[in-house]
Amino acid sequence: MDLSFLPTVNASLNGAAMILLIAGRVLIRKRRVEAHRAAMLGAFGLSCLFLALYVTHKVWRGFEHTAFEAAGAAKLAYLVILFSHLVLAMAVPVLAIAMIRLALTRRLETHRRLAKLAWPIWMYVSATGVVIYLMLYHLNPGAP
pLDDT per position as a tens digit, 114-139 = 999 999 999 999 999 999 999 999 99
| Total-model pTM | 0.92
- Burial of 103 from C-beta contacts in 10 A (0-12 / 13-18 / 19+): buried
Q: Where are the domains of the chain?
A: 6-137
Q: Which amino acid makes up residue 108?
A: L
Q: SS3 breakdown of the chain: % helix, strand, coil, rounded to 5?
A: 80, 0, 20
Left (φ > 0), alpha (ψ -120 to 50) or beta: where does 107 sit? beta
**For 72, how many CA atoms within 13 A lie in the half-sphere containing its CB?**
2
pLDDT tens-digit series, residues 36-87: 999 999 999 999 999 999 999 999 999 998 899 999 999 999 999 999 999 9
**Residue range 2-28: average pLDDT?**
97
Neighbour count for residue 72 (Cβ, 10 Å): 7
